Amino acid sequence: MKTEKQKMLSGELYLASDPELVADKMRCREAMRRFNQSLPESDDWKAAKRDLLPNAAENVYIEPPFFCDYGIHTEIGENVFMNFNCTILDVAPVRIGNRVMMANNVQLLTATHPLDVGRRVFDLEEYGLPITIGDNVWLGGSVIVLPGVTIGKNCVIGAGSVVTKDIPANRVAVGNPACVVRELTEEEVAERH
């Protein structure tokens, strides 16, 4: 029989009140408190960042305040920048590629709830779907990425957009719901060394 944590990480309905999950959240809250009360680049900030996001590259830069559910379910690549007030609800795996830029108030939300009122309201069941952000992506201010979405490499998502479905690589998408408005040119996606 699966634990609630195993159910959660595999996208099945689970109970967030499970003692193991509550303990993981409390560990995260303590690390998040220390991180958000530290000055960026200080030794305290670096130590709290390692505790909060153990699967993040060393050179990730995050402006406090930053918020997440667990931290341990989020993988972050090299040279990622997150501006003030970003939120990652990582009840399902979140994978962020290299050189990703997130403006202020970006939200990556893997958590969701069943439509069935009984399961949602009375049984308090929920579930999550993973989010993947490719290399070199830029998420504008207040972008919201919903459960189960993959954003391909090199994409630009315009400020205020709500990403409800996958965005292929090398695209610019804007709006609510976010729609692709154009494909990036070969020159725009050429990597420089």
Q: Return the active site residues.
A: 113
Reference 81, options 92, 68, 66, 69; nearest CA is 66
Asked if 139 contacts 154 with a C-beta cutoff of 8 angstroms, the reply is no
Cis peptide before 130 (omega within 30 of 0): no
Instruction: Please spell the DSSP secondary structure of 156-182, one letter per residue.
Output: EE-TT-EE-S-B-SSEEEETTTTEEEE
DSSP-based three-state secondary structure for 36: helix
Q: Crossing angle for the helix pair 43-52 and 19-36, nearest 10 degrees?
A: 160
Could you tell me the CA-to-CA distances from 111 to 44, 45, 69, 91, 174 in Å, in that order?
30, 27, 10, 6, 22
Please classify residue 114 by burial: count the beta carbons closer than 10 Å to its beta carbon, then call 0-12 exposed, 13-18 middle and 19+ buried: middle
